[in-house]
Structure 1
Amino acid sequence: AEVDAGRVDERTAVTVLTHDPKFDVPVLQVALRAKLGYVGAMGSRRTHEDRLQRLREAGMTDDELSNLASPIGLNLGARTPEETAVSIAAEIIALRWGGDGRRLTEVSGPIHGDALR
């Protein structure tokens, strides 16, 4: 509904966290075709390969699938669901603003970079 209403754009991020193909595949089809800023799906590399196969069987092209991030998140050493959520949010923020995930104590220059982007 939000896609059809034009309320999503290149600033929109969608993450699929269900591990259930009957939900994952249709949501990812819509999200990947909507040209969003970020589309990701939680799961192992094996789960990702299985998901890609299902999406191909549903008619998705390799070009469309190249925009799917999975596994999602930055390598923060997350163990809990809350830490995993932070790692996913950190990945989305880094991609949006061009960050590289390094510690600020290791970076010289302005902390916030181009805040007007």
Structure 2
Amino acid sequence: MVVFGAIDFAAAVARIGTFLGYRVTVCDARPVFATAKRFPDADEVVVDWPHRYLAGEAEAGRLDERTVVCVLTHDPKFDVPVLQAALDMPLAYVGAMGSRRTHDDRLARLREAGVGEDALARLASPIGLDLGARTPEETAVSIAAEIIAARWGGRGARLSETTGRIHS
């Protein structure tokens, strides 16, 4: 799991990523925010531009179809280049945080950057499932639930409102 954006929500996402068994890296270009002290649950905290770090990891062969990417940067100068790169890679999950208005703006910017509709369809944005989350921890559960659903083909529906086998 690679988390871009050293914000409060990233600490909760790193914690739940570790709980789910991922090796978690938090990356941000701002050294004042990207510190091991702020992200004690991350396996690694990296100070670098997100798109540059992601490209380097891909070139080194450290990303694959099991890798999940969570973009929490909230800033087009960071999130557009990293999403452009991530959506061109065979990753398990690519999600980006933001409001619906931010999402619409982000899609327009990605289209302007040449990202095709098939790649954009892979983007989970706004990130997470609709759980009514408010806090960073609740939001992290929402994001984790979406990652699990994507991994195993779940729909995110309440089991009490479904029929048939629980596990296929």
Which of 40, 51, 56 does residue 111 from structure 2 map onto?
Answer: 56
TM-score, structure 1 normalization: 0.84
1:28 maps to 2:83: yes
Find the counterpart in structure 1 of residue 59 from structure 2. Answer: 4
CA distance in 1, matches of 2:114, 2:89: 15
> CA separation in 1, counterparts of 2:162 and 2:112?
45
1:47 aligned residue: 102
- Measured in 2, the distance between the counterparts of 1:49 and 1:4 equals 30
Q: Note the C-alpha offset of 1:109.
A: 6.9
Post-superposition Cα deviations, 1:44-82, rounded to whole Å, max 9, x if no partner, equal: 111111001111121212222121111111111111111
Residues in 2 aligned to 1:99 and 1:48: alpha-carbon distance in whole angstroms: 23
Q: CA RMSD in A?
A: 1.8
Secondary structure in 2 matching 1:9: coil
C-alpha change, 1:64 and 1:108, in structure 2 (3 Å) is closer
AA in 1 matched with 2:107: L
Fraction of identical pairs, as percent = 74
Q: Which residue of 2 aligns with 1:84?
A: 139
Unaligned runs of 5+ in 1: none
Q: Which runs of 5+ in 2 are unaligned?
A: 1-55
1:99 Cα shift? 2.1
Q: TM-score, normalised by structure 2?
A: 0.61
Secondary structure (helix, strand or coil) at the match of 1:33 reads coil
Give the count of matched residue pairs. 113
The counterpart of 2:126, out of the listed 71, 77, 88, is 71
Deviates more, 1:80-89 or 1:101-110: 101-110
Cα deviation, residue 85, structure 1: 0.8
- Give the SS at the match of 1:72: coil
